[in-house]
Amino acid sequence: MSEPISGIETKEPAFGLPALWITQAQKEDAELAGYTVVDPSSVLATHLTEIIKGYADEILTRQDVQRLIENIKESNKAVVEELIPNVLTLGEVQKVLQNLLRERVSIRDLPSILEILSDVGHLTKDLDVLTEQARGSLRRYLSNQYKNKEGRIMAITLDPEIEQKISQSIQKSDRGGYLALEPGLGHKLIEKVSQNLEKALTLTQQPVLLVPPNIRLYLQRFLASYLPNLIVLSYNEVVSGVEIQSIGMVNIS
């Protein structure tokens, strides 16, 4: 545990965790005490980046999607013409892209996204399923984004008992799936995930919560209001060759 140090209390912009503003003269003492010290310009840049990422899904309009598709149509004419409007409408494609952006998943590889939407769209129009399938097509990007310099993904995992309870608590509605956890269990889950996240951030800059694919989306939605910047990945979104290093397990028993 880091030794106490004086400063102005604040929250760091990436994960909203407790932090302190300190003077330049305190920097060396803070580092020796075990704190992660970040300079003001980096904090500002991170904060602005997080704001843009946080609202990217709201910024993406249907007209924007139309322009993106027109830009790639020359090199991917077949998939575009097959997908829109024969399989999915432009609005449905927009909603899938917004779902991806809401979890800060890049949509730069639009051809791959459209390919999988064309394949899966013949089978279902469920936007949750389409979004998860699109994420699967981007697994190499996701793995590269969240692995460290040593090629490892630093992961917080769930106790199997919790995974089972979450799976049993999934409810479906016309507006999509959601978790219907008992209030006491839900509160404790949030608390334990928060504790593990705060501890993990002392070891790595980008920990993720790694869970089975059948609960990933619903757990992410449940936690988003409390931990909006927490990355929730499924095991299916990690490509072979990328090592997973567990740095914490959420246990509520």
Q: Is the pLDDT of residue 1 over 60?
A: no
Continuous segment of H or E residues that includes residue 154: strand 152-158
pLDDT at site 205: 66
Does 123 share its domain with 177?
A: no
pLDDT at site 96: 96
pLDDT at site 158: 96
Q: Does some domain include residue 184? A: yes
The mean pLDDT of 237-244, rounded to a whole number, is 92
CA distance 190 to 186: 6
pLDDT level of residue 2 (50, 70, 90 thresholds): low
Q: Does some domain include residue 165? A: yes
Does 176 share its domain with 236?
A: yes
Q: Indicate the pairing of strand 8-11 with strand 18-21.
A: antiparallel
Does 152 share its domain with 240?
A: yes
Six-digit token string for 246 = 């567990």
CA distance 174 to 193: 29
Does 158 share its domain with 232?
A: yes
Q: Does some domain include residue 231? A: yes
Least confident of 112-121, 132-141, 168-177: 168-177
Chain segment 128-159, per-residue pLDDT in tens: 999 999 999 999 999 999 998 888 999 999 99
Does 165 share its domain with 235?
A: yes
The mean pLDDT of 45-66, rounded to a whole number, is 82
Least confident of 92-96, 203-207, 210-214: 203-207
Six-digit token string for 132 = 């998860």
Domain membership of residue 222 as a residue range:
148-250
Number of domains composing the chain: 3
Six-digit token string for 220 = 């992410």
Phi, psi of 233, deg, nearest 5 = -110, 155
Q: CB within 8 A of 62, min separation 6: which ones? A: 90, 91, 94
pLDDT at site 13: 66
Question: Helical H runs in 90-126?
Answer: 90-102, 110-121
pLDDT at site 136: 92
Chain segment 3-34, per-residue pLDDT in tens: 678 888 887 766 667 888 988 888 888 888 88
Q: Is the pLDDT of residue 100 over 80?
A: yes
pLDDT level of residue 174 (50, 70, 90 thresholds): confident
- Of 252, 211, 203, 202, nearest in space to 231 by CA: 211
Q: Does some domain include residue 118? A: yes
Which residues are paired to 163 by β-bridges? Answer: none
Q: Indicate the pairing of strand 232-234 with strand 243-250.
A: unpaired
Percent of the chain with pLDDT over 90: 58
Longest dimension (CA), the chain: 64
Question: Helical H runs in the chain?
Answer: 27-32, 40-54, 56-59, 62-73, 77-83, 90-102, 110-121, 127-137, 139-146, 160-168, 183-200, 216-224
pLDDT at site 137: 92
Q: What is the pTM of this model?
A: 0.76
